[in-house]
Chains A and B, each alone.
Chain A
């Protein structure tokens, strides 16, 4: 599904050129459960931003289902994020003014889904993540684990091909973190491709494939198939 070849990402800060990614090649197949690990500053977040269409590589190729994402313009990238990718963030990133259903509806609004249809789908997704009794709650009225599950429901709204999670358990206690990870396992079992960025070895251990980063390069990959 994903083919990355010799990807680089260089930030220019003053006179300095920082190689956040220094030549990364990676293939991800549909249905994989992938953990990207490594210390902070190793380039794993940069890779995730590029995978998710939030950032563009400085050089190299990024093909998603044979589409050259690296050459997309801003609007194409926005639509790519909208339809192909689901994001789950460490800090949930729910809009505090909106209740659970409205938060989940948001990506479908940008996709142009009709109100009745998107409402029904939002309710269905919230039930699927175990929040059928919290539909009208606002983020402030929910626990961290519940908020993260709303965020996961939102990420699933437009039936993405790839779910990208950046430290999804980082802001949760051990027990709720395990619940969220169990939900990820379940989604992966249903066929969703998962890519989790983490430096928590416990989280990484649950993935079926681990890709380790250091200094902008892949230093190990226990599931590479070529």
Chain B
């Protein structure tokens, strides 16, 4: 007999009990929707972490005062004044190391900005012009101040700050703003690095290091201490050696004896990126695996109903055999029924999963990451579940004795 007829038998049987079929499929609906939603959340998180980390810069070391902290604490700022062991001279000394592309010492804090009637609170970083190189930043308008101008009261603004103080698309070059109580002249605007990340990368004010330290960020015990030094290597190979060389250099300069704890720490941003990426990937797999369990539960639901169905339709099976159905015909008919139920669930689950994923990305300001393989995955997996969990009931149906089956009430 033709396979098309078997498909029609299966569809007919499913259509005969719409409510039961819908409830049976529900397990697979939930399973597939969960897998797709969880995967899209995981991938969305992964993309977001990647964006955040890559905006920190590549091939970069961050040197901070104070002893090394636990892994991942690079994102957490130490308490104010936690360490003042890192100085401008340390940064200058690093410049002569091999494989260095740029060294950028910074001091940072936050300050209230005022321009005309507008107020905005923003991150303030006192930097050297090298900072642009170290952090992969570009100037969109105006210019960076020159070397040696470390005390001038000039500022380069991030796009967000420009929008908040002067309005969208305004040209702030030459305008005066107050940072805290100190007037600064705007000389440049940074190119946008995007809104993504754990913080808005564009919400920043750059100013000369000395000006920031003496007039904005506040006095420190040591006049020449800095909050951190960004060291950018020429390439990834150089980064590895540079990490050791920076540490060695600082140990010498700070006269740290062997066995004594360092009073600084060096973080390799590339290593942190890799670790974060692999942990979000693991997180994604974990989510998908948990969701996959519900798909298995859905399959068990199908098997349960198919077994009930085989028992209920014992006489039908006997009759079909009596009028000429081969065992294989019966087997395929029932297997197709469970595959069709499961596939139905898979398609509905796909729609719900994609819809839910998009909705969540909207609600959570999350990059929408519905993988392209979601559709073939949903279809393939639900059919697989149908085959696996339909096989036993179908086998039970096919091995019925027609005489016994016809006699069954």
Q: Is A176 an interface residue (CB 8 A)?
A: no
Q: Are A112 and B322 in contact (CB under 8 A)?
A: no
**A72-88 interface (Cβ within 8 A of B):** 74-75, 78-79, 81-83, 87
**B314-334 interface (Cβ within 8 A of A):** 315-316, 318-329
Q: Which of A54, A75, A106, A107 contacts B403 (CB 8 A)?
A: A54
Q: Which of B1, B13, B326, B327 contacts A109 (CB 8 A)?
A: B1
**Min C-beta distance of A66 to chain B, whole Å:** 21
Taking CB as reference atom, which chain A residue is nearest B313?
A95
Q: Are B323 and A95 in contact (CB under 8 A)?
A: no
Q: How far is the CA of A110 from the CA of B327 in the complex (A)?
A: 12
Q: Which of A54, A79, A97, A154 contacts B402 (CB 8 A)?
A: A54
Taking CB as reference atom, which chain A residue is nearest B5?
A109
Q: How far is the CA of A110 from the CA of B13 in the complex (A)?
A: 17
Q: Are B324 and A79 in contact (CB under 8 A)?
A: yes
Q: Are B325 and A78 in contact (CB under 8 A)?
A: yes
Q: How far is the CA of A95 from the CA of B322 in the complex (A)?
A: 13
**Min C-beta distance of A99 to chain B, whole Å:** 12
Chain B residues with CB under 8 Å of A79's CB are 324, 326
**Which of under 10, 10 to 19, 20 to 34, or 35 or more describes the interface residues of B?**
20 to 34
Of B12, B327, B329, B406, the most chain A CB neighbours within 10 A belong to B406
Q: Is B2 an interface residue (CB 8 A)?
A: yes
Q: Are A107 and B1 in contact (CB under 8 A)?
A: no
Q: Which of A55, A95, A97, A158 contacts B324 (CB 8 A)?
A: A158
Residues A95 and B316 in contact in the complex (CB < 8 Å), given A78-B324, A107-B324, A154-B323: yes
Residues A106 and B320 in contact in the complex (CB < 8 Å), given A55-B403, A93-B406: yes
Residues A97 and B323 in contact in the complex (CB < 8 Å), given A49-B403, A109-B1: no
Q: Are A110 and B319 in contact (CB under 8 A)?
A: no
Chain B residues with CB under 8 Å of A89's CB are 406
Chain A residues with CB under 8 Å of B316's CB are 95
Chain B residues with CB under 8 Å of A111's CB are 1, 324
**Min C-beta distance of B20 to chain A, whole Å:** 13
Residues A83 and B403 in contact in the complex (CB < 8 Å), given A95-B316, A112-B1: no
Q: Is A52 an interface residue (CB 8 A)?
A: yes
Q: Is B16 an interface residue (CB 8 A)?
A: yes
Taking CB as reference atom, which chain A residue is nearest B15?
A97
**Min C-beta distance of A48 to chain B, whole Å:** 10
Q: Are B324 and A110 in contact (CB under 8 A)?
A: yes
Q: Are A112 and B2 in contact (CB under 8 A)?
A: yes
In the complex, 14 of the A-B residue pairs with CB atoms within 8 angstroms, ordered by the A residue number, are A75-B326, A75-B327, A81-B324, A82-B323, A89-B406, A95-B319, A97-B13, A97-B16, A106-B320, A107-B323, A109-B1, A110-B324, A110-B326, A112-B1
Taking Cβ atoms with an 8 Å cutoff, the residues of B that contact A are 1-2, 5, 12-13, 16, 315-316, 318-329, 402-403, 406
Taking Cβ atoms with an 8 Å cutoff, the residues of A that contact B are 49, 52, 54-55, 74-75, 78-79, 81-83, 87, 89, 93, 95, 97, 106-107, 109-112, 154, 158
7 further contact pairs, Cβ within 8 A, besides A54-B321, A75-B326: A74-B326, A75-B327, A93-B318, A106-B323, A107-B323, A111-B1, A112-B1
